Amino acid sequence: MKEFSFIVSLLLTAVSTAQISMDTNYAGANVIIDSVAVDTVYFRPDLRTTQGKWFYWNFRAVSNVAKKWYFKANDDNILTSLGASFSTDGGNSWQWINQDDNLGPNLFSYTFEGDDATVRLSIGQPYTEKNFKRYIESYKNDDRLKLSVLTTTRKGREVERMTISDFSIEPRYKILITSRHHACEMMSNYMVEGIVGSLLSDDPKMVSLLKNAEITIIPFVDKDGVEEGDQGKNRWPRDHNRDYSGTSIYESTSAIRELKEDWIKDDTWIAIDLHNPWILGKGAERIYFVGKEPPAFEKQQKKLAQILSNSYQGELSFNSENNFLAWGESWNTNSNNTKGWSFGTWSKSFFKKGLILGTTVEFPYALNGDQVVTAQNAREFGRDLIYALKLYIDQQ
């Protein structure tokens, strides 16, 4: 996390001055404030360690008086179709701004309702280790959950690992679920919460799943990037999700590869990688599975997509035809692996050698079609996904 503070005063009358300050002195924060003119803050993402452009930003603002301030993006394509999100409780919960304050592709406003009012503003709904610890606390004494450390990063942070099962029974399947290969893709963690909450419920279907499967979940693959507020996507010198060929340079990706020998071994297994796509446009503003060759592999992915399409119960819709990016379409080609293997490509290399299913799930930041994405319906989709995986296993 790169710390800074920026303070500006606006003279309103001879005796009254409005002042706004911005900072990034907390986990997950990211911004460059270019200037403040009159009542408008001009900002852009900090692209440190990033090759090219990306969109993640997250900062705190404090206004010393009740006032509407305007926030103008100096880079294009860094606001969602819903503008920005905000948190008034220190990042514990987030909501989208009132759409009357969504003033165009590069501009939004926020009204501070009182002296020294504080708000966090962001592209989406940020999620860091603090949020995870707050969530998992109520499950710590559950015998079905084992919390451990996958590895320690080069900066000394612990990469959390959750393993969930009925440990009194030898599992027939292993399921490996990863999240945050790209540090900015925070919406995946709300899906993780939905998955974990479902697995640790007393629903008979989940009890049955845990008798058949042992599930390992890595909530933060790029842990340093998550905590420091990096983009993560197209990271220099290597993207975490291109670090699965040759010798891995990151401790977390290396440790995930070792799970094949140390945990999965010769067992039958499933690999699911959770991501968030680009922020704007029809192709990105939807949930979708990412297909992979060969056809026999993609057939299994489509089978899971069809099960999910037929069984989902949450608010967010899913259609197996509209929500599937087949191999060879759009960016989903061999050119996407020129900088190294992704987790999906690495896990697919074990197809028919123990792996029966693998897929990347792309979950949007703001809109699923015309449906507004929230933390709660992201959790619901996580629940729908793990129930669909249960049905998939039942059909083996």
Delimiting residues of CATH 2.60.40.3120 domain(s) in the chain: 5-122
Q: What is the CATH number of domain 5-122?
A: 2.60.40.3120
Under 8 Å between Cβ of 319 and 305: no
Over the chain, what is the mean pLDDT? 96
pLDDT for the residue 331 = 87
Residues 6+ apart with CB under 8 A from 106: 72, 73, 74, 76, 78, 79
151 token code pair: 């590895």
Residue 362 annotated in active site:
yes
Q: Rounded to a whole number, what is the largest CA-CA distance in the chain?
A: 76
pLDDT for the residue 14 = 39
Q: Say whether pLDDT at 198 is over 60.
A: yes
Indicate the pairing of strand 173-179 with strand 288-290. Answer: unpaired
Q: What are the phi and psi torsion angles at 378 (to 5°)?
A: -70, -40
Q: What is the dihedral of CA 154, 160, 161, 162, to 10 degrees?
A: 180
What DSSP letter does each residue of 77-100 carry, written as one string? S-SBTTB-EEESSTTS--EEPPGG
> Span 166-187, mean pLDDT?
98
Under 8 Å between Cβ of 45 and 231: yes
* Choice among 160, 228, 251, 362 that is catalytic: 362
Q: Sort residue 49 into left (φ over 0), alpha (ψ -120 to 50) or beta.
A: left
Task: Please report which confidence band the pLDDT of residue 6 belongs to, taking 50, 70 and 90 as the band edges.
Answer: low
Q: Is residue 135 helix, strand or coil?
A: helix
- Integer-rounded Cα radius of gyration of the chain: 22
If you ran DSSP here, which 8-state letter would residue 373 be given? P
Tokens 């629940």: give the residue: 383
Q: Does domain 129-394 have CATH number 1.10.3720.10?
A: no
Delimiting residues of CATH 3.40.630.10 domain(s) in the chain: 129-394
Task: Please report which confidence band the pLDDT of residue 334 belongs to, taking 50, 70 and 90 as the band edges.
Answer: confident
Alpha carbons 193 and 199: distance in angstroms, whole number: 10
What DSSP letter does each residue of 315-341 carry, written as one string? SS---TTTTEE-TTSTT-SGGGGTT--
Q: What pTM was estimated for this model as a whole?
A: 0.95
